[in-house]
């Protein structure tokens, strides 16, 4: 029987990172996924903790995380675990040739696609928050025909933030792309593919040269290459003599795409066995131990045996939690999640209310080791760990902690399994 030390379910950041860390520990790991994880639609940066419960920006995530109590996943992992996780992530990113900058004691502010600023912790070099901060001049670079990025709007919003402190201009560059009915609309990915080529970079640099002044940073949609490396950014910075910085963008977000490629590549190098397009529909738990999970795909069910199971299937949006009127469950291990029977009590009346949303904090309750608990507080099975958004106790969207929690809990889960068995 094919048996894995660790079976990870879900291929978002939490699942991929858990698989990599477990494999680094010498475990043989299988990763089961149905469709791509949400990484590709995400911004590809690591938010650790951006805002306090009362909406104040966090300067030092480590300090703020220490103060978290109760059900918050960070309080289960502890600050040492969080810091180790972020460092392990940075080690992997560096090993893959796509190092992330920043550390857990200091948030950076990065520009969004509409020219707002958001706090985050670790970023690729292409989103370095300090570059925007230090620049005296910002040139927002839009591309003719790119519908997902409005340079003028970004400029206007940045002016609202920085006022007179920075000179902020916008320019729209031309693309030597074929036009007309025979070709589709231009996306950020198309421009990134063009800048992957030497010809594209020369053309772009040639156009931009006239605008560049000392102390200037070029703020662009995410187009600095499709691959998880800095070749495009470095080549253009050399050619133009100024910094080039990307904002987060509409999906498919290049920055998330690169992060996904980086993690998947590392997992393959470690020999993680991928089971793709297989939907996990159930599990077999006997005497408090999960023996296998069951997948469907192409006409029949298949059992996947493992010593430890790491659940990283996401929340309601990712399909990791299933909801009905007045009820919520985790469908693979069949864990009931306590929610109000009256649906209107799940949320604040205002969707964008000035506080954490109630429904956003629903999820699987776990103990210190991230082992899932039933409503009675009993372990569902001692060899299951729950990581990432499936967990209860935090609103990642409000507090800006999504990828941070994913990494911290995935690391904790993978490290808690014990010594090498390979």
Partner 1 sequence: MNHAINPDKCTACTMCVAECPVTAATRKFRGPKMTGPALDRMRKQIQDDDFMLDYCSNCKNCDLTCPSGVPISTLNMLARAEYYKTHKRKSQADDMLAHGEKMGKLVCSLPMGSMLMNMGMSIGKAMHMMEPLGISGKAPMPSYADESFFSKFKKIKQQSYPKKVVFFPGCFINYNQPEVGVDLVKAYQANHIEVIVDESFVCCGSPLVSGGYLDEARENSERNTSIIQKWISKGYEVITACTSCGLMLRQEYEELFPSVEVAENAGHIYDAMEYLAKLYDEGALNTNFAAIPGSLIYHAPCHLKVQGFGRPTLDLLSMIPGVKIEEADAGCCGLSGSYGFKADKYEISMQIGAKLFERIKQSGAQQGVSECGICRLQMKNGSGKDAVHPISILAQAYA
Round to whole Å and give the CA distance between 362 and 124.
31
Round to whole Å and give the CA distance between 264 and 325.
37
Q: Structure tokens of 224?
A: 């600095």
**By rule CB under 8 A, what string of x and - marks binding of each residue 188-227 to partner 1?**
-xx--x--------------------------------x-
- Asked if 61 interacts with partner 1 (CB under 8 A), we say no
Q: Are 49 and 401 in contact (CB under 8 A)?
A: yes
Q: Are strands 3-9 and 243-246 parallel, antiparallel or unpaired?
A: unpaired
Which residues have C-beta within 8 Å of that of residue 165, sequence separation ≥ 6? none
What's the min distance (Å) between Cβ of 308 and partner 1? 18
Which residues have C-beta within 8 Å of that of residue 121, sequence separation ≥ 6? 45, 46, 47, 48, 49, 61, 86, 102, 103, 104, 106, 107, 108, 404
Among 5, 14, 16, 40, binds partner 1 (CB under 8 A): 40
Among 164, 182, 354, 378, binds partner 1 (CB under 8 A): 182
Q: Which stretch binds partner 1 (CB under 8 A): 29-37, 50-58, 369-377, 395-403?
A: 29-37
Round to whole Å and give the CA distance between 81 and 65.
11
Angle, to 10 degrees, between the axis of helix 254-269 and the axis of helix 188-196? 60
3-class secondary-structure state, position 308: strand
What's the min distance (Å) between Cβ of 333 and partner 1? 20
**By rule CB under 8 A, what string of x and - marks binding of each residue 245-264 to partner 1?**
------xx----x------x
- Asked if 275 interacts with partner 1 (CB under 8 A), we say yes
- Asked if 302 interacts with partner 1 (CB under 8 A), we say yes
- Asked if 276 interacts with partner 1 (CB under 8 A), we say yes
Among 66, 133, 203, 273, binds partner 1 (CB under 8 A): 273
- Asked if 36 interacts with partner 1 (CB under 8 A), we say yes
Provide the binding-site residues for partner 1, judged by CB under 8 A. 1-2, 30, 34-38, 40-41, 177-178, 182-184, 186-187, 189-190, 193, 226, 251-252, 257, 264-265, 268, 273-279, 295-300, 302-303, 318-319
């Amino acid at each position: 029987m094919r048996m894995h030390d660790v079976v990870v379910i879900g291929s978002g950041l939490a699942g991929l990172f858990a698989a990599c860390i477990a494999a680094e520990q010498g475990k043989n790991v299988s990763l089961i996924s149905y469709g791509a994880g949400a990484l590709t639609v995400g911004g590809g940066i690591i938010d650790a903790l951006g805002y306090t419960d009362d909406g104040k920006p966090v300067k030092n995530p480590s300090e703020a995380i220490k103060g978290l109590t109760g059900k918050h996943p960070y309080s289960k992992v502890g600050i040492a675990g969080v810091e180790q996780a972020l460092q392990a992530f940075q080690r992997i990113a560096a090993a893959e040739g796509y190092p992330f900058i920043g550390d857990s004691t200091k948030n950076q502010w990065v520009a969004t696609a509409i020219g707002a600023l958001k706090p985050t912790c670790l970023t690729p070099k292409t989103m370095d928050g300090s570059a925007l901060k230090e620049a005296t001049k910002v040139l927002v670079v839009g591309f003719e025909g790119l519908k997902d990025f409005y340079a003028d709007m970004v400029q206007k919003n940045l002016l609202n933030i920085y006022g007179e402190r920075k000179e902020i201009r916008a320019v729209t560059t031309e693309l030597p792309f074929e036009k007309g009915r025979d070709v589709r609309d231009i996306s950020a990915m198309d421009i990134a593919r063009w800048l992957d080529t030497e010809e594209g970079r020369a053309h772009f640099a040639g156009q931009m040269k006239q605008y560049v002044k000392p102390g200037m940073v070029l703020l662009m949609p995410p187009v600095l290459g499709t691959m998880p490396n800095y070749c495009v950014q470095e080549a253009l910075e050399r050619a133009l003599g100024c910094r080039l910085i990307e904002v987060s963008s509409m999906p498919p977000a290049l920055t998330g795409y690169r992060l996904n490629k980086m993690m998947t590549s590392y997992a393959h190098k470690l020999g993680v066995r991928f089971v793709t397009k297989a939907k996990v529909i159930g599990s077999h738990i006997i005497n408090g131990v999960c023996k296998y999970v069951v997948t469907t795909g192409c006409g029949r069910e298949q059992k996947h045996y493992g010593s430890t199971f790491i659940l990283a299937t996401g929340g309601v949006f990712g399909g990791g939690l299933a909801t009905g009127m007045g009820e919520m469950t985790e469908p693979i291990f069949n864990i009931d999640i306590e929610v109000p029977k009256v649906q209107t009590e799940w949320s604040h009346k205002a969707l964008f209310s000035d506080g954490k949303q109630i429904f956003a904090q629903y999820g699987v309750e776990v103990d210190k080791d991230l082992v899932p608990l039933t409503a009675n507080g009993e372990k569902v099975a001692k060899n299951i760990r729950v990581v990432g958004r499936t967990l209860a106790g935090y609103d990642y969207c409000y507090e800006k902690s999504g990828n941070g929690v994913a990494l911290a809990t995935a690391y904790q889960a993978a490290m808690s399994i014990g010594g090498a068995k390979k």
